[in-house]
Structure 1
Amino acid sequence: MNRWGFNMYLVQNRLPVESEEQLTRLKERFSKAPESMKQVPGFISFRLLQAEDHSHLIAETVFQSKEDFLNWLESDHFKRAHGGKGGERKNANINNYMVIIS
């Protein structure tokens, strides 16, 4: 828990979209995320956001704590969702935040 009494941790993954086909694939892939993430310890919520100019998506996941996020990165659930690879991807454009007011 942080000094403001919150311990939520928000992760945003920016995904460039280069074609309508790619957009369709990404939307389909992430459509299952809210339900499948419910089994992940510490998971709170998931949203997929689309830029108004359609140039990118933001996959936004909220965890109860940074520790829950880090545990998920090393989990079998993460590996299955990311092609068998654990940990943060090297080419990922990820921003992490502590939620201080909600």
Structure 2
Amino acid sequence: MFIAMNRFKVKAGKEAEFEAVWKGRDSRLSEMAGFRSFHLLQGPADAEAGITLYASHTVWESREHFLAWTKSEQFREAHRNAGGNKDLYAGPPQFEGFAAVEGA
């Protein structure tokens, strides 16, 4: 199992707009071999920094399945308009990938 996460620092006051973008997009993840699940997670707000932390979380059968997604037409279509929402973010997303060592 491989878990792919992107961490987003969303500007304070832009949370609802950020969530609407994610809820309204057609990711086409379900078309991909090896895809298991997706979650958009909201973390804590940092009033001092003026951000709320979010993470997109996808679970794949393997790292190879995830890499195939990143090279797919579905990936290109899902991310086609990503640059149009830069005003929502306090910096670029941070990717983190994890291979499962143990799990239930």
Normalising by the smaller structure, the TM-score range is: 0.7 to 0.9
1:14 aligns with 2:2: no
Q: Which has the higher strand share?
A: 2
Name the structure 2 match of 1:44: 36
Select which of 57, 64, 87 maps to 2:61: 64
The percentage of counterpart residues that share the same residue type is: 25
- Check 1:24–1:32 CA distance in 2 against 1; reply closer, same or farther (3 A cut): same
Q: Compare relative contact order (CA 8 Å, sep 6+) and give the higher one, 1 or 2.
A: 2
> How far is the alpha carbon of 1:25 from its aligned partner?
2.9
Give the unaligned 5+ runs of structure 2. 46-50, 83-91
SS at match of 1:78: helix
Q: Once superposed, which parts of structure 1, at least 4 consecutive aligned residues long, lie more than 6 Å away?
A: none
Using structure 2 for the length normalisation, give the TM-score. 0.72
Residues paired across the two proteins, number: 89
Give the unaligned 5+ runs of structure 1. 1-7, 86-90
